[in-house]
Amino acid sequence: MPMPLQSTPEGRPRLLVVDDDALIADTLSFALGAEFEVLACESRLHAIDLLRQLPEAPQLALVDLGLPPTPHAPDEGFQLITDLLAHSPRMRIFVLSGQSDATHARHARALGAAEFISKPCDPAALKKILARALAVRDAELVYTRGAEELIGQSPALMKLKSQLAQFAGSPFPVLIEGESGSGKELVAQSLHRLSTRADKPYFALNCAAIAPTLVEPTLFGHAKGAFTGALANKAGYFEDARDGTLFLDEIGELPLEIQAKLLRVLENGEYQRVGETASHLSRARVIAASNRDLRQEVRKGTFRPDLYHRLSVFTLGVPPLREMDGDKLLLLEHFRRFYAEQSAVQPFSLDADAERRWLAYPFPGNVRELRNIVIRLTTKHAGRRLPAADLEPEFDLSSDAPRESTPGDGDALEQALRHLERSRGIRLDELLQSLERGYIEAALKLTRGNVSQAAKLLGINRTTLYSRMSNPEEKGK
């Protein structure tokens, strides 16, 4: 069962522990309880439900990979990492797992985990790791409040900067699309900073981080007695933002009934507090972001088409890091100096081979993954000049496989063709199998694992898709 939700009087930082072994969860709670307010959960769904009840997300998380309903496989743990970062992008996640396969560790880090720690772990060492993570996180928060611009000079990023300058002065909504870890929130902040509203309020709401029943009062406010716990009148984000900017992250998570009310605000500025009939007027500019393809969500019926068209008056695509080759070195230089300074050590450097390997790696977790790799290398190799061999343990080798279709990243065929270009010298039948796998993986990703819907997308029947999934070399059905 979860620990109490209220903050402790000592103001200890919160630590989320997700492990289906009650003995391990109790041991961690006892060992770390003096320094942290420990919130323990036994499954991914339990953890997400708990987080939605909290006024603020925990700063840190320790998660196991083997969680119900598949405790002997890492899939639930991998999905939890993604869910936690969608809920709170600044959360520092550490995988504490007995599934210490190197491939699992690399993939967990590529998804956004700060580090992979094998069980059992000495509590004293664990405390040091968590304390260092908190210190780095606090330093980042101070730095990002004063950050002035996006780092990079690649054509893809220069195009984005040009669009930012072009769209910033407009009062119309902006939709920001991009993969997880690509920096959508920083783009939203840049839009506000470059606009004539820069001296006005800026509010941000992560729609994935709040219970569906709380979205409406959070956005629009509520009257006293409107629902249990509404002890006084309270303004919502639209009222607090006044004529500033309201950033709605992960907007694809909004319930359909709230989407209709948001559409009304965008069309005429009007909204009502929960429990009131009087209309209020908002002049806030709305910026929305999603790592989903909202066009696909419209086709599935989970996102209103009229709201999509209203939000996408201007659309900004944040490029994935694999399309910003030169910027990989600029970001490396920026982060290694910053984290070396925070740790009071000398920054590491790369030799020529290591630099080439750095440029060749696609960074599937984007800037977040690059930053986490720099933090780990700073901790392990301060002041050293590193060969390419020291980089390999940090990279997710599965990242060379075809990627799923995502906003701003082209469709599944484009991804498969990119893989084809990288794979010269492989036999034709192997390339065709790889191409097919890319299509299947993209379809399953878009349909969240629903085989029937994936088969419809691919234009084949379900039994054929099952056959291809279990035996990718089978032909001709």
**Which pLDDT score, from 0 to 100, does residue 357 have?**
95
* Paired tokens of 385: 């000049």
Q: How far is CA 311 from CA 171, 299, 401, in A?
A: 12, 16, 33
- Segment 251-274 shows an average pLDDT of 94
What is the average pLDDT value for the chain, to the nearest integer? 84
pLDDT value at position 320? 95
What would the pLDDT profile of 424-438 be if each residue is shown by its tens digit?
444 555 556 666 777
**For residues 5 and 71, which has the higher predicted lDDT (pLDDT)?**
71
Contacts of 116 by beta carbon, 8 Å cutoff, 6+ apart:
94, 95, 97, 100, 104, 105, 108, 109
pLDDT band at 89 (very low <50, low <70, confident <90, very high): confident
CA 288 to chain centre: 15
With a cut of 50, say whether residue 5 has pLDDT above it.
no
Contact (Cβ atoms closer than 8 angstroms) between residue 375 and residue 331? no
Instruction: Give the pairing type, strands 115-118 and 92-97.
Output: parallel
pLDDT at 447 over 90: no
**Residue 408 in 3-state DSSP?**
coil
Lowest mean pLDDT of 169-178, 206-215, 246-255, 278-287, name the range.
206-215
Q: Which fold has domain 321-400?
A: Helicase, Ruva Protein; domain 3 (1.10.8)
- CATH 1.10.8.60 placement within the chain: 321-400
Per DSSP bridges, beta strands 270-271 and 280-281 are: antiparallel
Instruction: Strands of 162-284 (E only): list them.
Output: 174-177, 202-206, 245-249, 270-271, 280-281
Query: Cα 330 to the chain's mean position, in Å?
Result: 22
CATH 3.40.50.2300 residue ranges in the chain? Answer: 14-145
Let me know: does 150 contact 183? Beta carbons within 8 Å: yes
Of these ranges, 114-123, 146-155, 301-310, 449-458, the one predicted with the greatest mean pLDDT is 301-310
pLDDT value at 345 more than 90:
yes
In which residue ranges of the chain is CATH 1.10.10.60 found? 412-470
Q: Quick one: average pLDDT of 339-355? A: 94
* CATH 3.40.50.620, applies to 155-317: no
Of the pLDDT bands very low, low, confident and very high (cuts 50, 70, 90), residue 365 is: very high
Instruction: Indicate the CATH number of 412-470 among 1.10.10.10, 1.10.10.60, 1.10.3720.10, 3.30.43.10.
Output: 1.10.10.60
pLDDT at 459 over 80: no
CATH architecture, range 14-145: 3-Layer(aba) Sandwich (3.40)
Total-model pTM: 0.72
pLDDT in tens, 223-255: 988 888 888 999 999 999 999 999 999 999 999
